[in-house]
């Protein structure tokens, strides 16, 4: 592997690791605040116990996420100095605001953890709401910076120099809206289905557990409400990517030839040499209708750009299929759960439904990682779309295999510590074992 490949692999591994905690950091405080809100309304102790436990889990994940986020900030400067030299003054504002949101979240999380008996119930619940709001805003600011890399605006670029910088315009770039919405709902879907799946597993073992029933209800509600909204934001994202990054959309669909009546291609093996997709399932006209709402909409293909500027079509296309496939399965499960609740209310949780949630528990995070692959691989070979190539931004420092190996060991160690802490927090101290169900 070359130093550029080691740098990309290290950055990709760091982002793939950190995004898990970013997603949980957005959604977990929402469920935590919901649990305490239900307690304040119903006075049922099970919701108070749930809020305590989810708060501790949020604190553990917040700490690990802070470590991986710090590593990422170092890597941006060390691995991509040319990028930070030029992009730093442009996207510095969202990163600064993200820092403000991060510290706000930390302050209110501290109040939530240690203020149970020192604050009024409403003030304590509001501190949990503030944790949730600041967690969402932290993600929003980081995603706007990434969106700028896909649709860079807010500056003048002449002779390799950036001038006339407008950080507000940069932060409100054309990709910001759909990326923010898509990422925020993705976090809620992924965390909601994972937590619902975990508690569905324990409910199957102990059907009388009020604790797991309450936890499953809150997590499933968040997941099932978020997934249809996520599909709508996905539709918005596809049409805006078609407008601002047609190359990425063409790779997502393995769409080689510019044409009208373009089909939607599912699966298959894209072949860049023959510009065909073998064994793929085509839905006639679907891509044209998706993009322009008309079958005769002309969809630009990869033939519109030089061959050396194509992203890895196989990786982008397969990642996109995995994301959409996982999303459709979760949407189907959410519709089933919604119908069951509408028909049977108090008896809506059946063993078959619980087993389905267990099997679908990891799908949200699989879709989340696959979607991130689409965003990042689909932008290549550019680090700033149309302005700076990734190869131009990498550090000239040799032997990048050394930091790659070091950080890989760090992430493996963090993963082991995290699994140990969460297992101890959620499994070894389950309510059944304490005899207080």
Higher pLDDT, 22 or 256: 256
C-beta separation of 222 from 188 below 8 A: yes
Query: What span, in angstroms and rounded, lies between the C-alpha atoms of 10 and 404?
Result: 5
Q: Integer distance in angstroms from the first to the last C-alpha of the chain?
A: 55
List, for residues 222-273, the tens digit of each pLDDT value: 999 999 999 999 999 999 999 999 999 999 999 999 999 999 999 999 999 9
What is the C-alpha separation between 50 and 115, in angstroms, rounded? 16
What digits encode the pLDDT tens for the residues 83-99?
Answer: 998 888 888 899 899 98
Contact call for residues 170 and 148 (beta carbons, < 8 A): yes
Between the CA of residue 248 and those of 218, 254, 302, what are the distances in Å? Answer: 36, 10, 9
Kindly give, in sequence order, each residue whose CB lies less than 8 Å from that of residue 135, ignoring residues fewer than 6 positions away. 25, 26, 28, 29, 30, 101, 105
Beta bridge partners, 387, equal none
* Nearest residue to 19 via CA among 65, 61, 56, 62: 65
Would the pLDDT of 345 be above 80?
no
Task: Tell how far CA 368 is from the center of its chain.
Answer: 5
What is the average pLDDT score of the chain?
90
Label the pairing between strands 264-266 and 388-389.
unpaired
Q: How many helices, marked H, and strands, marked E, lie in the chain?
A: 15, 8
What does the alpha-carbon distance between residue 35 and residue 29 come to, in Å, rounded to a whole number? 10
Q: 316 is written with which tokens?
A: 């982008």
Percent of all residues in the chain with a pLDDT value above 90, rounded to a whole number: 69
Is 90 exceeded by the pLDDT of residue 422?
no
Q: What tens digit of pLDDT does each residue of 110-150 get? A: 999 999 888 999 999 999 999 999 999 999 999 999 999 99
pLDDT tens digit string along 168-220? 999 999 999 999 999 999 999 999 999 999 999 999 998 888 999 999 999 99
């Amino acid at each position: 592997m070359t130093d550029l490949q080691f740098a990309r692999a290290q950055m990709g591994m760091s982002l793939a690791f950190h995004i898990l905690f970013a997603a949980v950091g957005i959604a977990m405080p929402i469920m935590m605040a919901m649990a305490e809100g239900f307690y304040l309304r119903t006075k049922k102790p099970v919701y108070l116990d749930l809020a305590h436990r989810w708060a501790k889990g949020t604190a553990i994940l917040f700490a690990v996420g802070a470590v991986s986020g710090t590593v990422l900030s170092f890597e941006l400067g060390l691995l991509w100095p040319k990028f930070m030299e030029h992009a730093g003054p442009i996207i510095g504002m969202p990163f600064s605001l993200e820092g403000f949101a991060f510290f706000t979240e930390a302050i209110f999380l501290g109040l939530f953890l240690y203020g149970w008996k020192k604050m009024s119930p409403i003030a304590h619940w509001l501190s949990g709401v503030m944790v949730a709001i600041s967690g969402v805003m932290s993600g929003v600011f980081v995603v706007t910076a990434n969106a700028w890399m896909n649709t860079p605006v807010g500056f003048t670029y002449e002779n390799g120099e950036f001038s006339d910088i407008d950080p507000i315009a940069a932060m409100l770039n054309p990709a910001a809206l759909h990326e923010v919405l898509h990422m925020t709902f993705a976090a809620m879907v992924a965390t909601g289905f994972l937590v619902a799946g975990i508690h569905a597993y324990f409910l199957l073992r102990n059907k009388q557990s009020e604790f797991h029933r309450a936890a499953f209800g809150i997590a499933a509600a968040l997941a099932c409400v978020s997934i249809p909204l996520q599909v709508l934001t996905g539709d918005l994202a596809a049409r805006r990517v078609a407008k601002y990054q047609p190359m990425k959309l063409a790779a997502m669909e393995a769409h080689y030839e510019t044409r009208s009546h373009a089909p939607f291609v599912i699966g298959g093996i894209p072949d860049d040499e023959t510009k065909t997709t073998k064994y793929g399932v085509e839905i006639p006209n679907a891509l044209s209708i998706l993009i322009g709402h008309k079958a005769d909409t002309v969809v630009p293909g990869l033939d519109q750009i030089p061959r050396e500027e194509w992203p890895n079509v196989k990786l982008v296309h397969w990642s996109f299929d995995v994301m959409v496939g996982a999303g459709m399965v979760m949407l189907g499960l959410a519709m089933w759960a919604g119908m069951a609740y509408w028909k049977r209310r108090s008896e809506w949780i059946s063993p078959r439904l619980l087993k389905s949630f267990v099997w679908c528990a990891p799908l949200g995070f699989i879709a989340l990682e696959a979607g991130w692959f689409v965003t990042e691989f689909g932008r290549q070979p550019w680090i700033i779309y149309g302005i700076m190539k990734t190869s131009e931004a990498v550090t000239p420092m040799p032997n990048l295999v050394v930091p790659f190996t070091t950080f890989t060991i760090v992430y493996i160690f963090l993963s082991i510590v995290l699994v140990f802490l969460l297992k101890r927090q959620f499994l070894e101290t389950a309510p059944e074992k304490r005899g207080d169900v």
